[in-house]
Structure 1
Amino acid sequence: MKYLMTDNPKGQDISVILDNLRKYNLSRIELNVVKPLAIFVNDENDNIMGGISAETHGNWLKILFLWIDEKIRAQKIGSKLLKDAEAEAIKRGCKYSFVDTFSFQAKNFYIMSGYKEVFTLEEYPLTSKRHYFVKQLTGDKVTP
């Protein structure tokens, strides 16, 4: 066996690890369909000004990214994207949602959107915190 450490891995090499890990994981769980979900906000020239990227898996919505261009923030666009993604997740059978954010990003946004903090990584990466949240969309309770 050869071991290679690098600070510049090739995307295709990372994909091999990720693809095989997903294949292994999905072969051992009862609901093995992960379905992407994305909603975009475009301006009149079709430039992306914001959006949400997520995936649904069984009972869970996992929010991957939510971004709004600074020029159009404070117009409740993020709230609409989040609500629309949650509504679609409910249609897909989800009962819960999961998201993480840094302390300098959207912690209060998620709290105001009904998310409950379940744990925090301190000093992540050095001076910030990384917050993990869940929300009950429907059905059984999730307790932090």
Structure 2
Amino acid sequence: MIKKQNIQSIDIILDEEPPNEIKAILQRGLRDYNHPFLGTYELKRFAVYIKNQTSEVIAGIYGFTIAKHKTLRLEFVWVHEDYRGLGLGAQLLSYIDKYAVSKGCCFIQVSTFEFQGKGFYKKMGYQEIGTIPKWFCDKDEIFFLKKLAFWDPARIGV
């Protein structure tokens, strides 16, 4: 165990292009700290996307699952402007629902800005659970949660 020491002087380093090694050190430190509260868990990243006839990506979702905590998080959801209104976003989210269930997830989380997909997520069965008002560029960020059909609070201790 490392003993706490008084530090007389420190160097604060700003690196706008940090090496992966720094990210790994910080992630490991945070996970070690979180371990007594959250246990051991692993993020499994995924991408699901649609290409057009010329093999250009025109829509997609990027996110991760945490199997131990039965959670799927959507980080990016996007449909190219020329293809909006055709149901691609709804098809992708329906696909994600099935994928989440196949991974044992009970919850899907996502956030969006007020000008993006607020109505869309509500239409797709997501519940608005919180807002950070005027968070970025004077826009509200809205957080959504979807509890999947088989969600049972007693089963997972919630």
Instruction: Give TM class, smaller chain.
Output: 0.7 to 0.9
Indicate yes or no: 2:24 matched with 1:12. no
Q: Closer, same or farther in 2 for the Cα pair 1:22/1:80, shift >3 Å?
A: farther
Larger radius of gyration: 2
Q: Closer, same or farther in 2 for the Cα pair 1:75/1:133, shift >3 Å?
A: same
Task: Identify which of 117, 126, 145 aligns with 1:134.
Answer: 145
Q: Closer, same or farther in 2 for the Cα pair 1:96/1:25, shift >3 Å?
A: farther
Q: Which amino acid aligns with 1:139?
A: W
Indicate yes or no: 2:131 matched with 1:120. yes
* Contact 1:39 1:53 survives alignment (8 Å): yes
Indicate yes or no: 2:56 matched with 1:55. no
C-alpha distance in structure 2 between counterparts of 1:18 and 1:74, whole Å: 41
Indicate yes or no: 2:98 matched with 1:87. yes
- The runs of 5 or more residues in structure 2 that have no matched partner are 1-9, 154-158
The DSSP-based 3-state class of the residue aligned with 1:105 is: coil
Q: Closer, same or farther in 2 for the Cα pair 1:114/1:31, shift >3 Å?
A: farther
Number of aligned residue pairs: 139
* Contact 1:61 1:86 survives alignment (8 Å): no
2:86 corresponds to: 75
Q: CA deviation at 1:127?
A: 2.2
Cα root mean square deviation, aligned: 2.2
* Contact 1:53 1:64 survives alignment (8 Å): yes
**Mean Cα displacement is larger for which, 65-74 or 18-27?**
18-27
TM-score (norm 2): 0.78
Percentage of matched positions with identical amino acids: 25
TM-score (norm 1): 0.85
